[in-house]
């Protein structure tokens, strides 16, 4: 028996998800309205459902913030407003 593949970089689990096309379209539309990708929207909804059911593990890393990551200011540059 072959060993399982190593975990992906960043520790994120990849899964294949089959959806009804109408469900995917509604999900993609909702995600766009909230400035998320469809993948991030699915994770957000799953986390919310797990939390509401009292089944979200305590050791789960927080979900990444929406939008563009913050710009790293150059050394000596105080960034915006400096």
Given a cut of 90, is residue 20 above it in pLDDT? yes
Distance CA 44, CA 42 (A): 5
Q: How many residues does the chain have?
A: 82
pLDDT recorded at residue 21: 98
Q: What is the pLDDT of residue 64?
A: 76
Q: In Å, how far are 44, 73, 77 from 38, measured between CA atoms? A: 10, 30, 36
E strand or H helix that includes residue 29: helix 21-33
Instruction: State residue 30's pLDDT score.
Output: 97
For residue 79, pLDDT over 60 is answered with: no
Q: Residues 36-74: pLDDT tens digits? A: 999 999 999 999 999 999 999 999 888 877 667 778 766
- For residue 47, the SS3 value is helix
CA distance 18 to 3: 26
């Amino acid at each position: 028996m072959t060993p399982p593949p190593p975990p992906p970089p960043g520790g994120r689990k990849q899964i294949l998800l089959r959806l009804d096309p109408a469900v995917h379209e509604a999900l993609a539309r909702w995600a766009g309205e909230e400035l998320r990708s469809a993948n991030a929207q699915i994770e957000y909804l799953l986390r919310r459902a797990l939390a509401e059911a009292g089944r979200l593990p305590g050791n789960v890393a927080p979900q990444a913030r929406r939008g563009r990551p913050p710009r790293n200011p150059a050394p000596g540059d105080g960034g915006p407003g400096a």
